[in-house]
Amino acid sequence: MKGITKKVCCVMMGILLGVTILTGCGKQPVASPKTENGKKETVEQKQGEGPKKVAFICKSYTDTFCVWVKDEIEKKSAEYKDEFSLDCLDSKNTSSTQIEQIENCVAGGYDVIIFQQVDAEAPVQAVKEAAAKGIKVIVTTGSINDDGISTYIDADPIQQGTVLAEYAVKKFPEKANVAILQGPAGNFHANGRQEGFKKVLSDKAITIVAEEIGEWQKDKAMTIVQNWLVAYPDLNVIMAHNDDMALGATEAIKMAGKEGQIQVYGVDATAAGCQALEAGKIGATVFQNAIDYAHLALKYASDYLKGQEIKSVRIDSELVTPDNVKDYIEIHKKLGNIK
């Protein structure tokens, strides 16, 4: 009997532990009032008195770029501390978690919810419900298909793909054989970047010999490129949807002893990407200004709370080449990404 109790206890603790870790930083939902009147009253009450609350839901604490935006928002929020308090959550790159977090924030009486979308469709219903309760939703680094209910601050991934490809084709070897490392299937940014790449390449009638999904990951990209280098001895250009995959390609090229024979291009201008560009391992990348995203998102939240109107914007991304990479390395140094 004692043994069984012990066993049950242990299993329960295991499950409890698992669940706690899984839901991690999710906030305790506050029970929302049931009646329609009750809801309105709470909203008015909370907008009338007490400090304002803003939630920032990060797409994933493991995505270098998303975390960078989160860090900038946290830093900058100190300047707004008289206007509102800020809480950060992690969606762990999972749509269902993100929806729960939006719902919890609505119930928890936040005034503004800023989030980085995991998916363009999944959170629409939750966002509509938030808007119905008078909560402003701002989407950053992405946008969702909600017919303009939320306000977005986003880059244009097609522009990112186009600006990179237009620069790259000028640098291409005479007979270019291009392979493309793609982001996850159905991802908004991957699709846009792909569209930008393809538009330019097909205009110039350049052959694409292979395309594979590398899931944004260095390890997967490295394995794919190793195999490509064997299958396509003529391959001389690799274009990746992000810098991590581009860096995976450079590792594979290094291991095959083909350094300098294959051009590699990436997007994101991460610290490691900029350093590789400076070292001549990759040809060019595109900088999404995380700082702009972060500062604008907070400014929008502040403006909204002051009663001003805010409008959706698309921020143009900047092309990073060997000529201007030093400026971006300086930015990363200031941020502490490069020591």
Partner 1 sequence: MSKRKYDVSVIYKKFGIYLVLLALLVISSIISPVFLSKANIMNLLTQISVVTIISCGITMLIIENMTDLSGGSVVALTGCLCVGTYKMLIGWGCNIIVAGVICMGTAMVCGFSLNLLSGMVITHYRAPAFIVTLAMSQMARGLVYLYTGGQPIYGIEEIAIIGQGKIGNILPFSVIIMIVIVSITWVVLNKTRFGRYVYAIGGNREAAVASGVNVNRTVLKTYMLHGIFVGIAGVLYMTRINSGQPAEGVNLEFDAITAAIIGGTSFSGGIGTVQGTICGSIIIGVIKNILNLLSVQSYYQQIITGMIIVIAVILDIKTKMSGK
Instruction: Give me the residues that bind partner 1 (CB under 8 A), please.
Output: 3, 6-7, 9-11, 14-15, 17-18, 21-22, 60-64, 67, 182, 185, 209-213, 217-219, 222-224, 226-231, 244, 247-248, 251, 254-256, 271-272, 275, 337
Minimum CB separation from partner 1 for residue 21, in Å? 4
Query: What number of CA atoms fall less than 13 Å from residue 297's CA on the CB side?
Result: 36
The residue among 112, 135, 150, 47 whose CA lies nearest residue 298 is 112
Contact between 320 and 286 under an 8 Å Cβ cutoff? The reply is yes
Which of 248/283 has CB closer to partner 1? 248
CB 115 within 8 A of CB 98: yes
Shortest approach of partner 1 to residue 280 CB, angstroms? 16
Please, what is the minimum distance in Å from the beta carbon of residue 335 to partner 1? 11
Smallest distance from partner 1 to CB 10, Å: 4
From the CB of 45, what's the least distance to partner 1, in Å? Answer: 37
Q: Which is nearer to partner 1, 164 or 213 (CB)?
A: 213
Closer of 83 and 278 to partner 1 (Cβ) = 278
C-alpha to C-alpha distances, 34 to 38, 42, 107, 275, 288, nearest whole angstrom: 7, 11, 11, 55, 43
Query: Which residues have CB under 8 Å from 318's CB, separation 6+?
Result: 269, 286, 287, 289
d(CA 291, CA 152): 16
User: Which of residues 61 and 167 has its CB atom nearest to partner 1 in the complex?
Assistant: 61
Q: Which is nearer to partner 1, 71 or 111 (CB)?
A: 71
> What is the closest distance, in whole angstroms, from the C-beta atom of residue 71 to partner 1 in the complex?
10
**Is the CB of 75 or the CB of 254 nearer to partner 1?**
254
Tell me the Ramachandran region of residue 39: left when phi exceeds 0, alpha when psi lies from -120 to 50, beta otherwise: alpha
- Separation CA 92–CA 80 (nearest Å): 27
